[in-house]
Chain A
Amino acid sequence: MKNDFRARNHPAYWAFLVHRVSGLLLALFLPLHFWALGQALQGEAQLDSFLRWTEQPLVKFAEVVLVLLLAAHMAGGVRLLMLEFLAWRDWHKSLLAAAAGLSIAAGLAFLLNLV
């Protein structure tokens, strides 16, 4: 028999899901990123017109999501490294809370244009 969501409903599993999903979405975004950089090869005007296009609210919002994904994936990775490579202690929920807090802070900072 197989387990369903009831067996998986706990914080460390959510952290795994966030890490996995953010990683997949970032991997999907990468080709787009390279394509955008590639616009520079077509000359300054081409890149500038693309960058102007990214000023739209919807694209800006997508960028916030992107920053959030990046922050979550990085914080989640650091959490895992600390959990597994430092001597084991009872701090996995604190690490998780810190990682979540940092990612949200990074997303908010970007949203509020602080960076």
Chain B
Amino acid sequence: MTVLQVKVWRGGESGHYQEFEVPRFESQSVLDVVTYIQRSLDPTLSYRFACRVGMCGSCAMTVNGKARWTCRTHVAKVAAADRLEIAPLANLPVVKDLVTDMSPFFEKWAAAHGRFQGGRTRRDDFERVPPDSPQRGLVDEAIECIGCGICYSSCDVVSWNADYLGPAALNRAWTLVNDVRDTDQTRLAAVAGDAGCHACHTQMTCTERCPKQLSPTASIAGLKRLALAAALEGEI
């Protein structure tokens, strides 16, 4: 039976890698490996997951140097030479072992006006969005985000500028500025500042890494264009 050599981050911000030997199974995911370690080798290991099917976005970790959703990442795909190095997501405070504090990530969604602000009440009729309208098309391309934080953790600009809103929050803002029902008039200004869309260097690591194959870079570029147009009009 093949054995995987697995190095797992232990501790908080300062810590060390601990080595485990984990039996290799067919169709094994990286999350299976972490779960095996916790259930059979060391019950004190902390990590996070919920759905196991790529929907909830809670299982993201750094696997052999790249942020990935571990429940949908096959060991066969990433463990060259049967070696794995599993660390918590970068760019976020480490709580313990593989668990990060996601608060800065979600606070930036709020700062980017990531909340839908409708103009109708429950007594009004539904507002209709034509499914084939161009704006709905733009929203469709960006809406499937599961909030896993992989893009945020992969982004150099986040590492360089702690205030940068990051790919996910900007992607969310882009879906809302294209939502014809939304009434928030200040969102574009909120994402066009120093720590907003213009800080993006188009390194595209977010797009490279997004497990849902979204392109936050595309959304950020869209925001850059809208912000430029609004600035030329003197609106922001």
Contact = CB atoms under 8 A, between A and B. Distances in A.
Contacts of B65: 3-7
B46 interface: no
A85 B202 CA distance: 12
Interface centre among A2, A7, A85 (most CB of B within 10 A): A7
Given A1-B87, A84-B221, A84-B225, A6 B204 contact: no
Contacts of A92: 204
Q: How large is the interface on B (under 10, 10 to 19, 20 to 34, 35 or more residues)?
A: 20 to 34
B4 to A, nearest CB: 18
Most buried by A among B204, B207, B222: B204
Given A7-B90, A88-B215, A1 B62 contact: yes
B90 A3 contact: yes
Given A7-B154, A10-B205, A16-B203, A1 B221 contact: no
B66 A12 contact: no
A92 B67 CA distance: 22
Contacts of A88: 215, 218, 221-222
Interface string A1-37: 1111111101011001000000000000000000000
B203 A12 contact: yes
Nearest to B158: A3
A16 B218 contact: no
Contacts of B204: 10, 12-13, 92
B224 interface: yes
B156 A10 contact: no
A101 to B, nearest CB: 19
B113 to A, nearest CB: 22
A76 to B, nearest CB: 10
Nearest to B85: A6
B64 interface: yes
B73 to A, nearest CB: 15
Interface string B193-204: 000000001111
A97 B122 CA distance: 52
A47 interface: no
A66 interface: no
Given A1-B94, A3-B65, A13 B222 contact: no
B66 A2 contact: no
List 3 A-B pairs, minimum CB-CB distance, nearest first.
Answer: A6-B65, A12-B204, A88-B218
Interface of B: 9, 13, 62, 64-67, 87-91, 94, 153-154, 156, 159, 201-205, 207-209, 215, 218, 221-222, 224-225
17 contacts: A1-B87, A1-B88, A1-B89, A1-B91, A1-B94, A2-B91, A3-B91, A3-B156, A7-B154, A10-B205, A13-B204, A16-B202, A83-B202, A84-B202, A84-B224, A88-B215, A88-B221
